[in-house]
Structure 1
């Protein structure tokens, strides 16, 4: 079969001349200088009263209509072999993409090559823009046969992208990231103290969806927690959302997360019936009203991107507040650096970074879910830990084969989503199908591994074996790798329309061959053959001496010194006809391929089950690699006891997992025993931790909280031994930062977090309070810290497991008043006191050892000397501190003595005993 028809010589030189004219112009390097270094355009000679309104070309008129029809997005418009930006979009693209902006007739323009379109679109999306792609919807040959042959190509908006809906680039380095889109609605209840919110979120990379309807307080703490967990790239708000809620969401989103508003229907079921059918619609009817409204809002929004099918499978949905997992609040995720570090907000140095040894994108996404949602059920935790232990030992060959199966595996979950939306090309489709085929046919027999979780995951790998095989067998793999749509299928009769059009093209070739036989007789050249030169085929070559006898209607194409090349009118007509048939074949082949992809998409449920099993195996393998590190041990996690005070937390030689991984020297391990130690013996349920700055207090309590999270994930922990009871939550108040945009001072943020903890903490909660009260005056801070500590102690056996860090040494007296609930501990520091007023950095040695008892000093002046304050300043501060401490101690002794005498005279024995304990501390 001959090659494609080419333009005539006249058209060829016309295009070459246009290209030469464009290339001779000086490129404009920026939008600001686009008018400075360019000669003014030539103007037609008209009368003096010429209108100032420019006369737009048909193409410019079409472009302006496209921009008016699609406001609020950056438009890329396909023009020939380029994508172009026009008007304000051209200036924006010039600055964001560092490309030239130039004047093109009446409009400013900037352009990029077609192959580079995905790269530039991603850069625009990362800046928070919404990008629309307008493509030519007509082909050259078919258009030439219509009445609009001399009009611009028809163009239409074919794709719309935002950061959350860009799923075209599968091979990107960040393809394993979640691309979460959230829709948020609010009830119209007039009560401002409690807000009723509905939320639906979908991860476009995997089609996993989450929904929730919840009540929130005036501080929107529950909404903050959900946004912190979901980490959406885009948020769609109902237009009637409360002003305070909307302001909070926009502040949380910042400049690089896109926030849009849309009108939501109060009665959502009729709207949902337009998108959902059958089982999906019946499932949606059972959802709370707020969730239905949020679901409709999200479905309507995704229709603009042609991605609404991501929300049509009920199996993809899960509730946010599952009873089987712990809910870590937004502040807790940040304070403990669970998903990202506190320095630059990247995953490096976080708990997720520590555990991520995954080989696949599916595993990384699942690991992120496991890390932020620790389990609550001791049996499930034990099952995971047992699977990790077996995978760590890996004594059976089937486990080695399972680990090897994960290497060089494409992101089949993301590929399955692209198949569902019809976005794949043949090369990508065959890559995904071959990956599924390899996975599903790996195991014919599965001996038991000893872990029910591993056995189930390995069994799930083979569930789609009979589903995948027919699709792979139907494709010609070599042709599919080349994206050869007309010859994609081994059985040509699978799509008869392709065969019919191929037969038509064969008839065109036969007509050209028959015409060649006629030309041989006409020219008396029995050996005459068609010639191809410079991509132009079906040329008739004659000697230059014979060219004068050629019919006048033959089209001269090119010539050399010896020969002249022509196209006959019949050849021109047959080439145009064949080009139309080729474009028709391409359209038919594309429609057939889309039908084939739709049939593959019907197998979404079993294929998704395989992808999920791969993710589970990958995460367990990753946790097994972490468990193999030196000093990691499998923790013992108990189910919650029946009575109060049954909670326990016993850690032997525990270490901070991320600090240990990054430190060049060995981490100093510590011991901790809280809660029940046996059938009768009980250790205190709380620790009052004192010590110097830089002594390691915050690092130590963070390590304890992180070990609890690791244990309830099902991972091994950095301890010599670990035993704990399941916690229902971890609540933290750590660090110091203000919230200027909400008008909140540092102490206001601290107080709000502490108030939230006091409301939600139960006897099964691990509470971490780090230096509460330091953001206000000394006396107010001491009073508030004292009151908060006492309010927790007064709960008795219902008191949460408490780690209370403070520099207020008077609070240590409560460990003597309530020894059954609280104990004093401090971080040991060795200070070489030379007895003079001068201090040196070498005088302070941090031992980082957690030891019983209260600290005698906070060593603040010593820390100031270590920081480099001048010796004169630290000497004066040391003198003032000593005098102030002596004065304060004397005053406290007098006050307590007076209260003791009064209590003794009144017969208040318990009060008198408490005052004696306070005096002993002083």
Structure 2
């Protein structure tokens, strides 16, 4: 580095300290990027790549690109969105220091996808998590933090299925960045999930998971003597939590006082939802689009504040297991639902609130500006109104919110200090209200009325000396001076007059008062900026000391907003209050799918009953045509149970619901090509996880298990899974099982607890009308060909399929007697006779084909395949 310029040496040194970040290096009014950083950033940000070394050979030139300082945030946002870390290296001096050609520069902040706190880079209605995963010797733990709000969660697991539980938590939190221990990094399964499902930025171990530093970090952060205390005594959780706190402090480079406590996910507190269930039930995002619209959350979320939106989302993702906690929420929702005037006023107040949690995090992190504090002040002014509206509430949860701190003192000293329209930058002045500081007011007067103050001094000196032609003048060489013409001079001048210059016509003097006024006028603007900045930082620190109070009030506001939202939705959608207990039974009268009903508001949704228990009605085998609504019916049952356990009213005429400890789903067909798994392998993996983790208190949704393989294998697997779920000796869980394998319906007669149901449909001519009603019994037909016709399969194919089906039925269905098809071209008139000669290969293929379980496209592909073989 000896041949480098001082500035390049400075850049290289700072870059070596931040090798995994794109370094934004401040040079004057620009942030510059050099070398590999410049090449990377120029492609993403569409910037021109240039160099200052044009006189050197190309291989010796240093690539560079830059963005204006004032516009940098937009560019940084693009990089964060693409998963990059950005290190902000600022100039800390206004001019070079003595004996140095360089400004002092340091990395003042590292922005990464999981640790960013600036509102413009975040979705106000969703949390922004960074995670940490520890895995070693059969034990595992995960910790998650939303740095922008201070939320910190952790969970610990042991045993051979630790990986599985960690993946479920990763799916629930969907972190944008993960600190990964060495053991977790070696896990192929975890790695595939993070790369293919989450697509998040992974941060290497780098010694962050060492026990002693982790313990010290946890003790310091949470103010405890025993590091295991906040984590329920789990050492793996201490390691995950400590490593995460260490990484956050590396990026934020400041106090993290907003991270105050750990929400430990212990058994018995929240329902664990595996990743497949979260996706299949579309709790927070639509499966087909990946968007929020079309999810359960999109139906329930009528919140008015960012805190409420994030709180409700957390409730949807973490249903409760405590009957007492559920009933507390339901009681609050009921009271808000019944008092429409109060609810309306509360929602108007909530709509005026800014993001108190994220504002407070910026205050603590010393990145908040005047506008942030003013918004926080406006939030505080609404809290007393909210508290007053809750005065007469009786439900315990609303009474608890009524007791919240209204922060009137915090509001008062922000309001007293910050002006109504503060500037964006806190270093430019103009941020303090008039009257807050006498010194700032005096300097503002000097800055704004300098000429008037000089004129007033001039008048005083005329009166004092009696020289009417005395003037105060100014030039760039001498500054301000008192000019006394020779013709006007008479007698002695005051002793404080000091001669500055003699001209042919006058004498020029100055006084200490004039010199001081000159200095104040010249430096007033600069001094005002310095003083206002100091006063503002002092105010911000004072507000930061109230972090616990402000965050607690924000938490209460979030809960209140979520409760108001559930009350509002329950009225608009005509939901009922569920009875929740520990009976283990599910009784739903006229249940409806909340999302389908909401999206198809212009058409009538056909409701259905559900009755399940741990005795005679444990397992429901559901048959019926494709598109009849089997999956919708099963999903609605699962969603109604989840809604009840988050404390929501449910879409039904009435509902009595025993607590389910977990909900499992195996729905739909998808493959994992990148992970090397076929559709059937994915299906069997999910089924295996369900059977491994479900208990007799679980609710299992299984949709067409076994369809991804041959008919006989599929029937065998489906029956074995059904028997395992139904038998109390092996599992005995409440199970909804849809199938086109009608052979399975015989289990009703041979296994206690199994009941047959089917979705009704009515054949009209060659068409089909779906009645959508669930009734006892089993379907006689799957109407696969009719569904194919509805899907738009060519009429010629549909007609041919009917002929094939008739022949198959005539010959014994799935095991017909040996028949042959004619392969003679002269005999072919658009129809193929199953009675004519044909190859054994075609016959064997037909024997294994299951018309009932085929999708329309599968049936069409089969027919084309047989046709090619016969023409062949």
Q: Is 1:821 equivalent to 2:753 in the alignment?
A: yes
Query: 2: distance between equivalents of 1:258 and 1:155?
Result: 27
Q: Is 1:318 equivalent to 2:267 in the alignment?
A: no
Q: Give the superposition deviation at 1:258.
A: 0.7
Query: 1: distance between equivalents of 2:250 and 2:668?
Result: 43
Q: Give the superposition deviation at 1:730.
A: 0.7
Partner of 1:132: 87
8 Å contact 2:480–2:518 — kept in the other structure? no
Of 181, 184, 187, the residue aligned with 2:133 is 184
Query: 2: distance between equivalents of 1:89 and 1:579?
Result: 43
Partner of 2:291: 346
Q: Give the superposition deviation at 1:267.
A: 5.4
8 Å contact 1:434–1:472 — kept in the other structure? no
Query: 2: distance between equivalents of 1:240 and 1:797?
Result: 33
Q: Give the superposition deviation at 1:808.
A: 0.6
8 Å contact 2:141–2:166 — kept in the other structure? no
Query: 1: distance between equivalents of 2:814 and 2:178?
Result: 60
- Higher mean C-alpha deviation, range 74-83 or range 768-777: 74-83
What secondary structure, in the 3-state scheme, does the structure 2 residue paired with 1:650 have?
A: strand
- Higher mean C-alpha deviation, range 108-117 or range 352-361: 108-117
Partner of 1:288: 234
Q: Give the superposition deviation at 1:367.
A: 0.4
8 Å contact 2:167–2:193 — kept in the other structure? no
8 Å contact 2:789–2:795 — kept in the other structure? yes
What secondary structure, in the 3-state scheme, does the structure 2 residue paired with 1:874 have?
A: helix
Partner of 1:302: 248
8 Å contact 1:178–1:204 — kept in the other structure? no
Query: 1: distance between equivalents of 2:607 and 2:419?
Result: 60
Change (3 A) 1:866 1:267: closer
Partner of 1:66: 14
Partner of 1:37: none
Of 665, 673, 680, the residue aligned with 1:732 is 665
Partner of 2:24: 76
What secondary structure, in the 3-state scheme, does the structure 2 residue paired with 1:742 have?
A: coil
Q: What pairs with 1:14-53 in structure 2 (closer than 5 Å)?
A: none
Query: 2: distance between equivalents of 1:422 and 1:174?
Result: 21
Of 602, 608, 623, the residue aligned with 2:545 is 602
Of 589, 592, 599, the residue aligned with 1:655 is 592
Q: Give the superposition deviation at 1:848.
A: 2.1
Q: Give the superposition deviation at 1:805.
A: 0.6
Q: What pairs with 1:451-850 in structure 2 (closer than 5 Å)?
A: 451-462=395-406, 464-465=407-408, 467-468=409-410, 471-472=413-414, 475-478=417-420, 483=426, 484=429, 487=432, 490=435, 492=437, 526-527=470-471, 529-530=473-474, 586=529, 589-637=532-580, 639-641=581-583, 647-663=584-600, 665-675=602-612, 684-795=617-728, 799-818=732-751, 820-833=752-765, 843-850=767-774
Partner of 1:22: none
Of 392, 409, 413, the residue aligned with 2:353 is 409
Q: Is 1:385 equivalent to 2:330 in the alignment?
A: yes
Q: Give the superposition deviation at 1:512.
A: 9.6
Q: Is 1:162 equivalent to 2:112 in the alignment?
A: yes
What secondary structure, in the 3-state scheme, does the structure 1 residue paired with 2:168 have?
A: helix
Partner of 1:102: 50
Q: Give the superposition deviation at 1:857.
A: 1.5
Query: 1: distance between equivalents of 2:22 and 2:209?
Result: 32
Change (3 A) 1:720 1:891: same
Change (3 A) 1:445 1:744: closer
Query: 1: distance between equivalents of 2:620 and 2:740?
Result: 14
Of 347, 351, 368, the residue aligned with 1:424 is 368
8 Å contact 2:303–2:565 — kept in the other structure? yes
Change (3 A) 1:344 1:889: closer
Query: 2: distance between equivalents of 1:734 and 1:816?
Result: 26
8 Å contact 1:253–1:259 — kept in the other structure? no
Q: Give the superposition deviation at 1:773.
A: 0.4
Change (3 A) 1:848 1:139: same
8 Å contact 2:77–2:121 — kept in the other structure? no
What secondary structure, in the 3-state scheme, does the structure 1 residue paired with 2:184 have?
A: coil
Query: 2: distance between equivalents of 1:528 and 1:694?
Result: 94
Q: Give the superposition deviation at 1:342.
A: 0.5
Change (3 A) 1:64 1:812: same
Q: Give the superposition deviation at 1:732.
A: 0.8
8 Å contact 1:674–1:686 — kept in the other structure? no
8 Å contact 1:649–1:672 — kept in the other structure? no
Q: Give the superposition deviation at 1:702.
A: 0.9
Q: Is 1:852 equivalent to 2:776 in the alignment?
A: yes
* Superposition RMSD in Å: 4.1
Query: 2: distance between equivalents of 1:745 and 1:705?
Result: 27
Give the structure-2-normalised TM-score: 0.80
- Spell out, residue by residue over 1:88-125, the C-alpha distance to the aligned partner (whole angstroms, 9 max, x if none): 33333332223333333454332322222222111110
Query: 1: distance between equivalents of 2:730 and 2:185?
Result: 41
Q: Is 1:153 equivalent to 2:103 in the alignment?
A: yes
Partner of 1:874: 798
Query: 2: distance between equivalents of 1:684 and 1:329?
Result: 25
8 Å contact 2:113–2:176 — kept in the other structure? yes
- Spell out, residue by residue over 1:704-745, the C-alpha distance to the aligned partner (whole angstroms, 9 max, x if none): 111111122121222222222121111111111122233222
Post-superposition, which runs of at least 4 consecutive aligned residues in structure 1 deviate over 6 A? Answer: 498-506, 508-517, 536-540, 571-582, 890-893
8 Å contact 2:192–2:675 — kept in the other structure? no
What secondary structure, in the 3-state scheme, does the structure 2 residue paired with 1:477 have?
A: coil
Change (3 A) 1:54 1:97: farther
Query: 2: distance between equivalents of 1:633 and 1:346?
Result: 28
8 Å contact 1:240–1:263 — kept in the other structure? no
Query: 1: distance between equivalents of 2:420 and 2:602?
Result: 55
8 Å contact 1:739–1:746 — kept in the other structure? yes
Give the structure-1-normalised TM-score: 0.75
Partner of 2:39: 91
What secondary structure, in the 3-state scheme, does the structure 2 residue paired with 1:72 have?
A: coil
8 Å contact 1:302–1:308 — kept in the other structure? no
- Spell out, residue by residue over 1:571-630, the C-alpha distance to the aligned partner (whole angstroms, 9 max, x if none): 999999987897677556545533432232222222211111110110011111111114
- Spell out, residue by residue over 1:836-891, the C-alpha distance to the aligned partner (whole angstroms, 9 max, x if none): xxx6xxx1222222222211121222222333333333333323333334444697
What secondary structure, in the 3-state scheme, does the structure 2 residue paired with 1:125 have?
A: helix
Query: 1: distance between equivalents of 2:103 and 2:162?
Result: 55
Q: Give the superposition deviation at 1:156.
A: 1.8
Query: 2: distance between equivalents of 1:119 and 1:327?
Result: 38
Query: 1: distance between equivalents of 2:98 and 2:452?
Result: 29
What secondary structure, in the 3-state scheme, does the structure 2 residue paired with 1:235 have?
A: strand
Aligned residues: 773
Q: Is 1:204 equivalent to 2:172 in the alignment?
A: no
What secondary structure, in the 3-state scheme, does the structure 1 residue paired with 2:403 have?
A: helix
Query: 1: distance between equivalents of 2:515 and 2:114?
Result: 49
